[in-house]
Amino acid sequence: MFFPPRLFYSEKLQTPALPERLVMRPSSLLIVLLFVCGGCANTSDNDQSAETTPALTGPYLGQTPPGTEPELFAPGIVSTGMHTRDLAMTPEGDEIYFSVSAGPLVTILGSRLVDGGWTMPEVAEFSADPWVGDIEPHISPDGSRFFFVSKRTLDGSPISKAELGKWDRADIWVMERVNGGWSEPVNLGPPVNSDADEYFPSTTSDGTIYFTREDPETGRNYIYRSRSNESGYAEPERLPEHVNSANQFNSFVAPDESYVILGVFGRTDSHGGADYYIVFRDEDDMWSDPLNLGPTVNQERGQEWAPYVSPDGKYFFFMSTRQPYPGDAPAQLTRDWLLDFHQLPESGNPAMYWVDAGFVEELRQEADPPSSRRQFRPYTQPSWFIAHAAFQIFTIRSTRSSAFMYST
């Protein structure tokens, strides 16, 4: 099956009139969402709206780039209040994909830049079947391959109701770029996929793939990599113990393989239960110790585990469950206010944020020289790690769907 370039809703996406303080005015965003959804009704309505509302044009869904403080990415468009995470872009930046889940249903949405305007985000055609469970999209640096994680079966049969929403049989799948579209998804197969669960693919310019593999005996997650070769991929190797220092998962690797940003829980220098860390690699394949990205990105009132850096290297995109205090909440709560607030981003569900990626070079200067490191160095787990491990592992795995949420 060939998925043509025009995968999505054909009408151009219009700029929502978002409030300045999104989380403070829930009723305003509700109107925005109704407006956006109303764009699906018919073309004439969209044309009439376009006369007074400019179309979204330019890079990054027409959003104003952030500075050194994280901002919600594309509120009302990508970050809508639904359980949203993961981000992937083509090298040209003219296609953007992200994951959304609702209960046990997990899928990948996307938007394209067509004739100067962005299309309405819509479920990608290859991910529309509710019985396959797709998540964690990634596009190779050269734009030739589209990777994602799925529970879909090899023979194309639907997964059982008992498996829906569970992540105990996950593999990495891939599609090839064909005439501006994507080929039929194919299981990446061994040696990358195994009897264990594999998650969160990320690739370098030379074709090396980084991914998470869960130890089926202990439930602990580790970061692996597999070099590209003539037959496909070499046998995966686990990154050194000081990189796999606690329970880590969902790593983004720079196209030149000079650094990896990963989600980690169980370290004593964490700001919350799960934080983003960065490790640097030198030309001798030696790795620095993990450095926490700090409280600007990692927050006590949030969990973080889906990193991504834009193809141009300018911006860091990340998922967070941060929950700012609603300073404009009414003196007395009402059911209607709570219902409106629940439909907003930053109300507890994962949402996507972005920030200037200049911190990468700043942290590179702070990191210990990788060449001074031993290849392996054990990391001593904090005393409470084992007691909390089972709960944390279940929680993080479950957030690949929205069946289970963190409470803060």
CATH of the domain at 38: 2.120.10.30
- Single out the residue of 17, 10, 65, 61 nearest to residue 39, CA to CA: 10
Q: Which token pair is 234?
A: 């070499």
Helix ranges (H only) for 39-154 are: 43-50
Q: Is residue 17 part of a domain?
A: no
**Residue numbers in the chain where pLDDT is lower than 70:** 1-54, 164-168, 324-327, 369-408
Q: Cα–Cα distance between 407 and 393 in angstroms, integer?
A: 15
* Amino acid symbol at 385: F
What is the per-residue pLDDT for 268? Answer: 84
Answer for the pair 288, 373: CB distance below 8 angstroms, yes or no: yes
Q: Which domain holds residue 216?
A: 22-325+334-398
Q: Does 8 fall in a domain? A: no
- Structure confidence at residue 326 (pLDDT): 67
Supply φ then ψ for residue 363, to 5 degrees.
-70, -30
* Nearest residue to 21 (alpha-carbon basis) of 33, 12, 29: 29
Exposed/middle/buried for residue 344 (C-beta within 10 Å: 0-12, 13-18, 19+): buried
Minimal CA–CA distance to 375: which of 264, 178, 238, 225? 238
In Å, the largest CA–CA distance within the chain is 66
Q: Rounded CA gap, 28 and 31, in Å? A: 5
- Is 34 inside any structural domain? yes
Residue 77 sits at φ, ψ, to 5 deg, of -120, -60
Residue 15 lies in a domain: no
Q: Determine the pLDDT at residue 345.
A: 86
In a domain, 115, yes or no: yes
Q: Which tokens sit at 20?
A: 């300045």
124 inside domain: yes
Residue 162 DSSP label: T
Query: What's the pLDDT score for residue 379?
Result: 38
Amino acid at 334: T
Tokens 């589209």 appear where? Answer: 146
Token pair 């105990």 is found at 168
Residues 6+ apart with CB under 8 A from 46: 11, 12, 14, 39
For residue 9, is it within any domain? no
Instruction: Determine the Cα–Cα distance for residues 191 and 213; give it in Å rounded to an integer.
Output: 12
pLDDT, residue 376, reads 40
Residue 364 lies in a domain: yes
| Overall number of domains in the chain | 1
Per-residue model confidence (pLDDT) at position 167: 63
